Amino acid sequence: MSTQNSSNHKGPLNAVKVLDFSTLLPGPYATAMLVDLGAEVIRVESPTRVDLLKVLPPLKNGQSLIHLGLNRGKKSVAINLKTPEGLDLAKRLVSEADVLVEQFRPGVMSRLGLDYQTLSQVNPKLIYCSITGYGQSGPYAHRAGHDINYLALSGVASYSGRLGEGPRLSGVQIADIAGGSHPAVIAILAALFERVHSGQGRYLDISMSDGALALNALTASAAAHSEAPSYGETFLNSGTLYDYYQSSDGRWLSVGSLEPQFAQGLLMTLGHPEWFKESLYPPRQQAKLKHKLTQVFASKSFAEWCEVFDQVDCCVEPVLTLKEALEHPLFKNRGLVKTELIDETEFIYVASPLSTAFPETQVDLAHDLGQDTDEILGNLGLSEVELEELRSKKVIKSTK
């Protein structure tokens, strides 16, 4: 694979080396954010077990677009960790690393001989981050789970939906990213700062269900002391005019006109300033107003409403398709949508929002399995003869 940019990382983490043992979404997205901050991220991959992200469609030039975007800028070393030689190589990599990220169920890394207690003896400055569904301790520690389960157990799903309809699925993985990836990155950055003063590493236990529970920031304390929120009962879950409304051609508009000045602007634009008093009613008492708004929005097409609200600052925006969002001037201007070349073919991906704060960071695309094995292990002092012996024993895999 040829890419337009090199791996010449800059940015605030340009001296930080990260070993990434994770697959799928939470860990890889966390390390992608570290890449966007300039860190050198090395994916430690199995030579034989395929990362599912690499085969998920759609494909471009035979490669998964999801993998290419999510694992951008990361190097790849392929090592069989179930062999004594592979375990030794992993420990030698750890001796020079600053951070390790893994996403196995509790106990897997210990069985491999790569748990924090063992590796902290190899490198006392190592920051070791484990991302799991339910944490390293507690009755659910070894239980399987997905994003939908963490949102369910955390109570988030219990009021994320409409009255009479029940919980609704989100198009993005809220608990995986907001409850897993983001807390992992924050904890890693805090541990790196702490290490400057302490000289010691730290073990970080990141639970996606913990993170999902913490997302109830506006409602948890009130629920603990009073009644828990339910569908359509709050200002922000369709209990007020704050909602989505369908246009005459089946598209949708988002209305966030909660504050009085925005509600006034909305209703004046719609030609019904006399409805303003109803917009001040508490949740669950705006049903009549919402019915009238539904009828008004159904009277014009999506394009017509976009034109109407384009110059009106009242928190009304169109619901864009993802393709439309990628082409929107807002994100184009912010520089979040990136374009690179894969074998002279254009590849578009979305960088993390951190990249706009540190635009000097240079990131290339995802590397092939084992593409950097020889270089990385060579930097550890292994000779070509030793590398060839390891290849012949299927301890490592190189892509030359």
**Which residue among the candidates 88, 142, 146, 310 is catalytic per the annotation?**
146
Concerning whether 98 is annotated as a catalytic residue, the answer is no
- DSSP annotation of 305 reads H
Q: Which helix (H) or strand (E) holds 195?
A: helix 182-198
- Compute the distance between CA of residue 108 and CA of residue 121 in angstroms, rounded to an integer: 19
Query: From start to end of the chain, where are the E strands?
Result: 17-20, 40-45, 59-60, 63-64, 75-79, 99-102, 127-132, 161-162, 166-167, 202-207, 243-246, 252-255, 316-318, 337-342, 345-350, 396-397
**Which residue among the candidates 51, 115, 176, 374 is catalytic per the annotation?**
176
Q: Which long-range contacts (CB under 8 A, 24 or more apart) does 106-111 make?
A: 106/130, 106/132, 106/136, 106/141, 106/142, 107/142, 109/21
* CB hemisphere CA count around 26 (13 angstroms): 29
DSSP state string for 22-76: --SSHHHHHHHHHHHTT-EEEEEE-SSSPPGGGTPSPEETTEEHHHHHHTTT-EE
Concerning whether 146 is annotated as a catalytic residue, the answer is yes
Q: Which residues are catalytic?
A: 146, 176
